[in-house]
């Protein structure tokens, strides 16, 4: 019996200790929640103050924009602007018109107390309003300002009324030299309007709002009308105030808000008693539920949590199911989810491998197809030319054009997509030799290239389609022939500029717009296809392209005329991506100019 009593006493002691611990925890939670509520109230008050200050800041920005517009309208009005360039006699004649402009400006903004116009030597040439004779003495104007600025508060000797100045530079709009200043307009302002801007900006009843100039003088305030200056020490008084400031776009002006510490927190309003009752009720319920929660919920959940942490290291592990209840069903669902995730991961991995292989083969097929579309068209035309010359002539020119054709064909079918610019230009020279023979000198092809660009890498057969278009669409129709010029130069750091221009018949405006739209669409084609291509995929693509080429037939030559430009655009996008650009300029009857800008480096593996 004694042993049983001891056991009961031991359990009771444990339960008592648990109860005391829970009460202590709840008490600590109660204290913490009260502190949290005070912190939340403080944060809400500060957020409200910040929002109100941002609203004032926006109003000040609007006021600044308004004054900029007023100063601009005044200084650059025809009368005032012309006044800067007049001599003394002309200025006397124009004075009445100048005063009219000044009067209209003062009507736009009632807080303008004076307007003063200075030339570039800082001589006062026109004025209206208060303090004309005293400005120089008290040093308000100072030197010439090269940008719009706001001054600090000052007072004239005859009164204590505060004013501030707005400095607006005036520039010569007709000068070829940018920023040639011809004078300055100074507006003397009353700060009365700022008082209205600050209204409604107090987060609490006794919050103090100050608008300060760059010297710390109070231009306007709410909650403390007697302050004339606010020093840094007064803004940083954590025992009495919670202070915040915002810099305004007016040359050192500041907006300062000071909230009394005692107003940061709202009164409790009986919430402590409510919280106490709520926590006592929670304590009773907790005593009733502690045993059940511990044995049937806490332990299984803790074991499940340990399993979730372990499954990241052992993905094949599964949770043991102990009870046929909700937790047991959760464990069963967790096991099913792990099985599903494992299966989905395998499917995703397989799909990624298939997409990679498909994109690799597709990209190389496109590259090979675009490259091979060019060669048959040029070869067929050149062979026709050789045949015509052989029938008409029986001399050495046939040997020359045949040699040039052999060099061109050898360059076109050689392996690799990337060559040096110099090699591409040599290919164009051989092509130009054939063109000049074909048209008996009626069409000339000129090539220019800087030394810095000759050894740079470029994709093969980039210029030939553009020159061919210039010859057969721009110059062939002209009886007197013409000239095609291809030039290659460096464009800044890291880019090359290719230009092909002719003096042919040009392109109609409608067709030109259609061509430009097609070029933009082609350059956006295949956007995002950045998959690397292996050598095996290249070989497969080349074999597929070869099989396709054999079955094209006589229809291929008819389609080539519309392929050249799209071919160039697609290859530019494939090799250079977003860094390549191409555009066409043309005037009907005058000629066409095609410009390409591409990087002077190729991505690794592009060849």
- How many whole angstroms separate alpha carbon 203 and alpha carbon 50? 9
pLDDT of residue 490: 93
Residue 356: per-residue pLDDT = 73
> Would you list the domain boundaries of the chain?
16-266, 271-317, 353-599
Supply the pLDDT for residue 78. Answer: 93
Structure tokens that stand for 569 in this block: 């655009």
The phi, psi pair for 488, rounded to 5°, reads -130, 125
Mean pLDDT of the chain: 77
When mean pLDDT is compared over 77-81, 431-435, 558-562, 564-568, the highest value belongs to 77-81
* pLDDT given for residue 4 in this prediction: 45
Q: Is the pLDDT assigned to residue 236 strictly greater than 70?
A: no
- The string of pLDDT tens digits covering residues 189-199 is 999 888 888 88
Rounded Cα distance, 45 and 55, in Å: 15
Q: Mean pLDDT, to the nearest integer, of 10-22?
A: 59
Q: What is the pLDDT of residue 570?
A: 80
117, β-bridge pairs: 126, 185
What's residue 1's pLDDT?
40
| Percentage, residues of the chain above pLDDT 70 | 72
Average pLDDT, integer, range 467-479: 86
Q: What is the mean pLDDT of residues 360-368?
A: 59
If you average pLDDT over residues 581-602, what whole number do you get? 91
Mean pLDDT of 10-35: 67
Stretch 504-512: mean pLDDT, rounded?
89
> Residue 411: pLDDT above 80?
no
Confidence of residue 130 (pLDDT cuts 50, 70, 90): confident
Percentages helix, strand, coil for the chain, rounded to the nearest 5? Answer: 55, 20, 25
Asked if residue 69 has pLDDT above 90, the reply is yes
- Residue of higher predicted confidence among 161 and 490: 490
Which pLDDT band, with edges at 50, 70 and 90, does 184 fall under?
very high
Assign 264 to helix, strand or coil: coil
Element (H, E) at 444: strand 443-449
Rounded-to-integer distance, Cα 112 and Cα 99, Å: 14
pLDDT tens, 510-565? 898 898 888 888 777 443 333 333 333 333 433 443 343 333 333 333 334 445 78
State the DSSP H helix or E strand holding residue 218, giving kind and residue range, or none if neither.
Answer: strand 218-222
Task: Give the residue, 156 or 272, on which the prediction is more confident.
Answer: 156
pLDDT score recorded for residue 241: 79
> How many angstroms separate the most distant Cα atoms in the chain?
135
Nearby residues of 368 by Cβ (< 8 Å), 6 or more positions away: 541, 542, 545
CATH number of 16-266: 3.30.450.20
Model confidence band, residue 117 (pLDDT cutoffs 50, 70, 90) = very high
Residues 220-238 have a mean pLDDT of 70
pLDDT value at residue 185? 93
205-214, 489-498, 535-544: least confidently modelled range: 535-544
Mean pLDDT of the region 243-249: 84
User: Residue range 396-420: average pLDDT?
Assistant: 72
Q: What percent of the chain has pLDDT over 90?
A: 18
Which token pair is 507? 């392109």
Lowest model confidence (mean pLDDT) among 29-43, 88-102, 465-479, 554-568: 554-568
CA-closest candidate to residue 523, choices 589, 450, 577, 471: 577
Look at residue 339 and tell me whether its pLDDT is greater than 80.
yes
pLDDT at 542: 38
Q: What is the average pLDDT across 345-357?
A: 77
Segment among 74-78, 136-140, 564-568 with least mean pLDDT = 136-140
Say if CB 76 and CB 175 are below 8 A apart.
Answer: no
- Residue range 375-383: mean pLDDT, rounded: 58
Higher local confidence (pLDDT), 584 or 327: 584
Q: Is 341 exposed, middle or buried (0-12, 13-18, 19+ CB in 10 A)?
A: exposed
pLDDT reported for residue 144? 86
372 or 260: which carries more pLDDT confidence?
260
- CA dihedral 231→237→243→246, nearest 10 degrees, is 30
Q: Is the pLDDT of residue 406 over 50?
A: yes
Contact 29, 279 (CB under 8 A): yes
Its CATH class, for the domain covering 353-599, is: alpha beta
So what's the pLDDT on residue 72? Answer: 93
More confident residue, 265 or 185: 185
């Amino acid at each position: 019996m004694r042993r049983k009593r001891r056991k009961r006493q031991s359990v009771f002691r444990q339960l008592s200790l648990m109860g005391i611990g829970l009460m202590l925890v709840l008490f600590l939670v109660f204290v913490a929640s009260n502190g949290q509520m005070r912190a939340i109230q403080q944060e809400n008050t500060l957020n409200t103050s910040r929002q109100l200050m941002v609203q004032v800041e926006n109003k000040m920005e609007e006021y600044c924009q308004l004054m900029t517009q007023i100063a601009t309208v005044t200084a650059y009005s025809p009368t005032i602007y012309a006044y800067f360039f007049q001599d003394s006699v002309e200025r006397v004649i124009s004075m009445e018109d100048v005063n009219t402009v000044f009067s209209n400006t003062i009507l736009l903004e009632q807080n303008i107390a004076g307007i003063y116009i200075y030339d570039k030597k800082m001589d006062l040439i026109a004025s209206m309003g208060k303090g004309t004779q005293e400005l120089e003495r008290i040093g308000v104007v100072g030197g010439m300002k090269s940008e719009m600025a706001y001054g600090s508060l000052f007072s004239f000797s005859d009164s204590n009324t505060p004013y501030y100045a707005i400095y607006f530079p005036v520039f010569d709009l007709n000068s070829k030299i940018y920023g040639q200043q011809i004078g300055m307009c100074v507006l003397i302002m009353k700060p009365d309007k700022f008082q209205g801007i600050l209204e409604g900006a107090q987060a609490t009843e006794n919050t103090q709002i100050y608008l300060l100039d760059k010297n710390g003088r109070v231009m306007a305030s709410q909650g403390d009308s007697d302050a004339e200056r606010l020093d840094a020490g007064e803004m940083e008084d954590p025992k009495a105030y919670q202070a915040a400031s915002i810099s305004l776009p007016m040359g050192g002006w500041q907006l300062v808000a000071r909230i009394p510490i005692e107003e940061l927190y709202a009164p409790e309003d009986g919430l402590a008693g409510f919280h106490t009752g709520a926590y006592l009720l929670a304590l009773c319920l907790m005593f009733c539920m502690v045993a059940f929660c511990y044995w049937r919920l806490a332990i299984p959940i803790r074991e499940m949590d340990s399993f979730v942490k372990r499954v990241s290291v052992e993905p094949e592990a599964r949770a043991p199911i102990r009870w046929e209840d909700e937790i047991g069903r959760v464990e069963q669902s967790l096991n099913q989810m792990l099985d599903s995730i494992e299966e989905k991961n395998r499917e995703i991995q397989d799909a990624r491998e298939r997409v990679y292989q498909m994109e690799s083969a597709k990209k190389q097929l496109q590259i090979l197809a675009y490259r091979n579309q060019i060669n048959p068209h040029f070869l067929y035309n050149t062979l026709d030319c050789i045949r015509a010359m052989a029938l008409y002539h029986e001399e050495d020119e046939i040997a020359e054009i045949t040699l040039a054709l052999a060099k061109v064909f050898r360059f076109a079918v050689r392996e690799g997509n990337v060559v040096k610019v110099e090699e591409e230009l040599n290919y164009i020279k051989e092509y130009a030799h054939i063109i000049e023979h074909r048209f008996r000198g009626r069409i000339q092809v000129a090539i220019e290239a800087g030394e810095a660009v000759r050894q740079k890498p470029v994709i093969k057969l980039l210029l030939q389609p553009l020159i061919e278009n210039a010859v057969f669409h721009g110059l062939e129709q002209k009886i007197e022939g013409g000239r095609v010029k291809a030039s290659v130069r460096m464009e800044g750091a890291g880019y090359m500029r290719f230009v092909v221009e002719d003096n042919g018949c040009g392109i109609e405006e409608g067709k030109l717009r259609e061509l430009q739209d097609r070029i933009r669409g082609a350059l956006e084609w295949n956007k995002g296809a950045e998959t690397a291509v292996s050598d095996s995929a290249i070989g497969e693509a080349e074999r597929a392209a070869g099989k396709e080429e054999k079955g094209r037939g006589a229809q291929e030559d008819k389609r080539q005329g519309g392929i050249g430009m799209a071919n160039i655009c697609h290859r530019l996008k494939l090799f250079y991506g977003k860094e390549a650009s191409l555009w066409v300029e043309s005037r009907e009857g005058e000629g066409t100019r095609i410009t390409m800008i591409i990087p002077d480096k190729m991505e690794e593996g592009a060849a």
